Amino acid sequence: MVHVLVACQVLLATVFVVSAYSKLRSRAALRSFAATLESLPGPIRFPAALATAVVEVVAAAGLVVLPRAGLAAGGVLLVAFSTWIAVSLRGGRREPCRCFGASVTPLGPVHLVRNGLLLLVVGLGAVAAAFTGGPVTVAGLALAVPAGLVGAVLLIAFDDLADLFLPVSGGA
């Protein structure tokens, strides 16, 4: 189970680091993310955007240093993001999701599905952490790390992948 935990750690830490980097890579990127936080009062959007990115970095670091605490922090963060998305959708706000950069994809159920999958990874990691006792092996790491990275890439590109398979509404 130790290698399952490693795969979960790699997947979640990668997702949080990429998400934070997409916001922190420039002041313009952070402002762009802050602008999507429409339900917050204007003066606190930028600090809230910065805090979000910082918490993502802290969760990623926690996954590496203190896996159980990192899993808990990641789970709380994902629940908060999912709640934000659900409240936005219920209020009719469909601003673009800037989770991983300058996306024009409006918030939608696909984002809740992605977060649900990430929460499943958190749960799997928690179960693996509870039953971790065996040694870490090179062969196990050679499988766990790439598996975590592939999972992260698939979840980071989830919007684009969903667009390939979901029917397009309206138009021709």
* Higher pLDDT, residue 8 or 170: 8
pLDDT at 68: 95
Q: Say what percent of the chain tops pLDDT 70.
A: 95
- Crossing angle between the packed helical segments 2-24 and 109-130, to the nearest 10 degrees: 140
Q: 3-state class of 125 per DSSP?
A: helix
What is d(CA 51, CA 97) in angstroms, rounded to the nearest whole number? 17
3 has pLDDT over 70: yes
Query: Is the separation of the CB atoms in 21 and 13 below 8 Å?
Result: no
Q: What is the pLDDT of residues 76-113, one digit of tens each?
A: 999 999 998 999 889 888 877 777 766 777 888 999 99
Residue 11 DSSP one-character state: H
| CA diameter of the chain | 58
**Does the pTM of the predicted model rise above 0.85?**
yes
Query: Is the separation of the CB atoms in 46 and 30 below 8 Å?
Result: yes
Q: Give the Cβ contact number of residue 131 at 10 Å.
A: 11
Q: What is the pLDDT of residues 28-85, one digit of tens each?
A: 999 988 988 888 899 999 999 999 999 999 999 999 999 999 999 999 999 999 998 9
161 closest CA partner among 122, 105, 121? 105
Per-residue pLDDT averaged across 4-9, rounded? 97
What is d(CA 130, CA 111) in angstroms, rounded to the nearest whole number? 29
CA 94 → CA 4, 64, 103, distances in Å? 35, 34, 12
What is d(CA 118, CA 5) in angstroms, rounded to the nearest whole number? 14
pLDDT at 102: 65
Residue 40 DSSP one-character state: S
Residue 101 DSSP one-character state: S
